[in-house]
Structure 1
Amino acid sequence: MEIESKETEFIPVTNRQKMVSAIEEIKSWVLITIATDEEFEKASHYRRQVSTTISELEKEKKELTEPYKSKSKFIDAEYKKVIDIAENGFKVLGNALSSYQQAKHKKEREEQARIEAENREKTRKAQEALDKAREFAAELEAQGNTKLAEKILTKAENKVESAATQIVAPVAIPTKPEGTSFREKWVCTVTDKNAAIFFMLQIPMLNDFITIDTVGLTKAQNSMGGKIVVDGITWNKELIPVSKKI
């Protein structure tokens, strides 16, 4: 076994020589056959020597590597302190950014819901005005004042069309600060339960998302003494044993 200069940077020459000497004879062993008691004793002696050699080599290896291990542990520990602080700061910033985005989106959704509610109210009032305008126009036509009737009716219809134009609150696209990533998540908010159910009933693929709170409905039925009647729902009366104290 040759001793290279690179190896001696970590393993002293004397240690390397011991390593070479230790396996000089052992490395040629492939298969040993014992035929006599004398050979058995001799092999046992050699085996004890090999065991001692292994222990000595392990000890030397530990002595040589221990300084490097302690240095490595020290370096790891020092860097870990700083990295932990940096990672915590990264997490704090991420939480702050996420909270801001959520609060911002909440305000945008609330504003959008407010505008939609206003539009629905405007449409309702405009429709009521149109119904009244039609009645008034019919009276005017009966009196022969057709032009005025048409003018009043057209004006009312235009108001309905104008009110029906939905104004959607602008939703800002969230920016992505450098070093931070976000994933999109849509949140469902019910603003008109009846309208949503009616709409979903018209589309088969959305039917499965309409659920009935059977637990709550059962509680209500029991509190009403079985007086609730709902189309499509069958009520089964069950007798539950009640124990009485004697």
Structure 2
Amino acid sequence: MKKGFGFVIKILPAKEIYLKGDNHAVLLLHSFTSHTRDMKKVATELNKTGYTCYAPLYSGHGQTPEQLLQYNVNDWWQDVMKAYQFLKDEGFQKITVIGLSIGGIFALRLAQLKKIEHVIVLSVPIDRDPERLKKRIIDYANNYKKIEEKSALQISHELEVFNQMPLDSLIKFQEFIRFTIQNLEKITIPSAIFYGIRDDKLYSISAYTIYKNVNSSEKLIKGFKQSKHLMTLGKDQIEIINEILDFIN
């Protein structure tokens, strides 16, 4: 379909991933403005070795960008809590949690509150400026609409609602991140912290801050030479999956 005829490409919405395996479940949490594709390869490979893998989709994610504006960090945190409870209701006594970027913040918070076997986080920020979070949403919306093959004029018009969005919900997002980081000492389970060496310097600083402050007697920190921010989709993907398997085995 050509945009010159007034049509746009329709992008299929993302879905959660649930791959059944043995009695040890792995909860996989994707990044902000992304969706479960972040964790698809990890889930598939872990499931091949026997693990049950569940990657929930946060509210408003994996759909049109406008859907994202209807939700905030409290909704996404509730999605994570529901996902954990889902696995408990399915009968899993052993649950490991893996989180990428903001998914890593949710993973750390879950490890502070619930019975978890291991927590593994990748590309986790210890802080996030609300203005940068807003820019992330605008960039996401812009890229999404380009993929739809909308005209530059139409994209400019549709981005207005994103440019005008207030920062209130994103300030709450920042507060959630800060609160989680302030309570790292409550984490005593085996913890692995990974970061991409080619990512923004913030994330290596964050990784070492998390490593230093968790109270785990068994903890691991590692940087991956070829990785940028979305580590689970990058060139170190297989090495990262093998590190995850080694850690939880």
Structure having the higher strand fraction is 2
Q: TM-score, normalised by structure 2?
A: 0.19
Structure having the higher helix fraction is 1
**Rg: which structure is higher?**
1
